[in-house]
Amino acid sequence: MKKLVIFPFNGNGIEALDCIDETEFDFLGFVDDDLAKRSAHYKILRRNFIEKHTDVLVLAVPGSSLSYLNRKKIISSLPVSNPKRFVSIQHPTAFVGKNVKIGVNCLIMAGVVLTSNAQIKDHVCILPNSVIHHDSIIGEYTLVGSNVVVAGGTYIGKNCYVGSGSSIMNDLSIGDGSLVGMGSNVIRNVEKRVVVAGNPARDLSFRNKTKSF
DSSP H stretches of helix in 9-90 = 11-16, 48-52, 71-76
Query: Is the domain of 114 the same as that of 190?
Result: yes
Residue 9 domain-assigned (yes or no): yes
Q: What is the span of the domain harbouring residue 42?
A: 2-85
CA dihedral 143, 147, 148, 153 (to 10 degrees): 110
Instruction: Single out the residue in 40, 66, 85 at which a domain terminates.
Output: 85
Residue 67 pairs in a beta bridge with none
34-39: average pLDDT = 87
Within this chain, do residues 94 and 194 fall inside the same structural domain, yes or no? yes
pLDDT computed for residue 38 by the predictor: 87
In a domain, 212, yes or no: no
| Per-residue pLDDT reduced to its tens digit, 111-124 | 999 999 999 999 99
pLDDT of residue 206: 54
Asked which of 85, 110, 143 is the last residue of a domain, the reply is 85
What pLDDT, in 10s, does the model give residues 67-88? 999 999 999 999 999 999 999 9
Peptide bond into 8 cis (omega under 30): yes
* Domain count for the chain: 2
Asked if 110 and 79 sit in the same domain, the reply is no
For 16-50, the three-class secondary structure string (H helix, E strand, C coil) is: HHHHCCCCCEEEEEEECCCCCCCCCCCCEECCHHH
Domain shared by 140 and 190, yes or no: yes
164 shares a domain with 123: yes
User: Tens of pLDDT along 124-171?
Assistant: 999 999 999 999 999 999 999 999 999 999 999 999 999 999 999 999
Among 85, 102, 121, identify where a domain stops: 85
Q: What is the CATH number of the domain that holds 62?
A: 3.40.50.720
CATH of residue 166's domain is: 2.160.10.10
Per-residue confidence band for 195, with pLDDT thresholds at 50, 70 and 90: very high
Decide if 12 is inside a domain.
yes
| Mean model confidence pLDDT for the chain | 95
- Say if 161 falls within a structural domain: yes
Q: Do 97 and 152 belong to one domain?
A: yes
State whether 114 and 191 are in the same domain. yes
